Amino acid sequence: MNHGTKIPKNHRDAALAYAALGIKVFRVRRSKAPYANCPRCDKGSSIYVKHRPEECQCGVSTCHGFWAATTDPALINKWWTEEPDANVGAPCKLNGWAVLDIDPRNGGYASLTALEQRVGVLPGTITQITGGDGLHILYQAPAFDLPGQPFPGIDFKHNGYILLAPSVHASSNRYQWPGDGLFRKPTTPWPAALLPAKERRAVPQQRPVTRRHSFPTARTAGRPGGGRMWTVEDLVQHVMDGREGERNNAFFFAACRAHELAEQNLISLGEAEGALMHAAAAVGLTDSEARNSFDSAATRPSDRTWAA
């Protein structure tokens, strides 16, 4: 049974407590930035030696950011003795985690509400309150990479890292494990409903939850001439589901639909534009590629016979 572990308030002791549970941790600056690489690992240096971060043999224990993470108590003691107030970072993928990072400053809670209205309530798991009044929702990682920022205010943290309690945010608020304050390793798999389309398995569909409140971008947008009903979230998902080599086309399709629906006052064009630009970045399109496609969609003649 996962009873949980009380995490000390002292940063060094907290890092040691996580390491004792088998969680790799590393030292992070208050700015959230990892420590600088040595000259042999700095790509801008004249003596840079090309190598993969995970195969680094330079001997400098802080190089390559979260790749420096360790469970070695001697090294952890050394790091936090040198800098007692350094924050505690944990790489997601290296610890077998995938994390929903909810940022309220960019509409994360509204996006989470809309997401759960669409796919049903997400499976229960361990949650951390961030120093910025957001949430880290921790799951066990799937066996393949996830997109980075699929919705406004929500990041899928998989290849990156998060800070762990009792780290201190720029606001001076601490990260914390809510409720009883105990840390428990996540045991719940990443939700099947949030997997990329090609990786989804046949699973029973969850019944959408009836809410007493609504999210403004979840308004239903009707297809011209009837047929499929579209929302901003549908358009974002269309971009996210685009296959390799077809993502530009998927984005352009979604941009055209956004302009058509906005002309009918069915969605907000600004809202759709922001969401689609986030989705474009998540699937690997450059900002200029996405911007050119979105602007081109504004001048494309309306097509009343399109289909997804």
Burial of 301 (0-12, 13-18, 19+ CB in 10 A): exposed
Confidence of residue 141 (pLDDT cuts 50, 70, 90): very high
Mean pLDDT (whole number) for 11-29: 95
Residue 252: its H or E element: helix 247-263
Between 203 and 11, the higher pLDDT residue? 11
Mean pLDDT of 82-106: 93
In this predicted structure, the answer to whether residue 219 has a pLDDT above a threshold of 50 is: no
Is the predicted pLDDT of residue 258 greater than 90, yes or no? no
pLDDT at site 196: 67
User: What's the CA gap between 160 and 64, in Å, rounded?
Assistant: 12
Model confidence band, residue 243 (pLDDT cutoffs 50, 70, 90) = low
pLDDT at 47: 80
> Given a cut of 50, is residue 207 above it in pLDDT?
no
Residues near 33 by Cβ (< 8 Å), separated by ≥ 6?
none
CA-closest candidate to residue 18, choices 230, 124, 167: 167
At residue 184, the pLDDT reads 93
d(CA 162, CA 99): 8
| Distance separating alpha carbons of residues 185 and 138, to the nearest angstrom | 9
Cα–Cα distance between 188 and 138 in angstroms, integer? Answer: 8
What confidence tier does 98 reach under pLDDT thresholds 50, 70, 90?
A: very high
The confidence score (pLDDT) of residue 221 equals: 39
- The mean pLDDT of 255-260, rounded to a whole number, is 84
Q: What is the Cα gyration radius of the chain?
A: 22
Question: What is the C-alpha separation between 242 and 284, in angstroms, rounded?
Answer: 11
Band of residue 284 on the pLDDT scale cut at 50, 70, 90:
confident
Largest distance between two CA atoms of the chain: 68
Res 229: pLDDT:
56
Which stretches does DSSP call E strand in the chain? 5-6, 26-28, 87-91, 97-102, 127-129, 135-140, 154-157, 161-164, 182-183, 221-222, 229-230
The C-alpha atoms of residue 64 and residue 91 are separated, in whole angstroms, by 12
Q: Give every CB contact of residue 202 below 8 A, 6+ residues apart in sequence.
A: none
CA 148 – CA 151 distance, rounded (Å) = 9
Task: Give this prediction's pTM.
Answer: 0.61
pLDDT: is 123 or 285 the higher one? 123
User: What is the 8-class DSSP label of residue 189?
Assistant: B
Mean pLDDT, to the nearest integer, of 251-265?
A: 83
Mean pLDDT computed over 164-183: 91
Q: Where are the alpha helices (DSSP H) in 134-208?
A: none
Q: How far apart are CA 188 and CA 139, in angstroms?
A: 5
> How many other β-carbons are positioned within 10 Å of the β-carbon of residue 161?
25
- 307 — pLDDT class (breaks 50, 70, 90): very low
Q: 282 or 291, which is more confident?
A: 291
- The answer to whether residue 183 scores a pLDDT higher than 80 is yes
How far apart are alpha carbons 294 and 78 in whole angstroms?
51
Least confident among 9-23, 78-92, 218-232, 272-286:
218-232
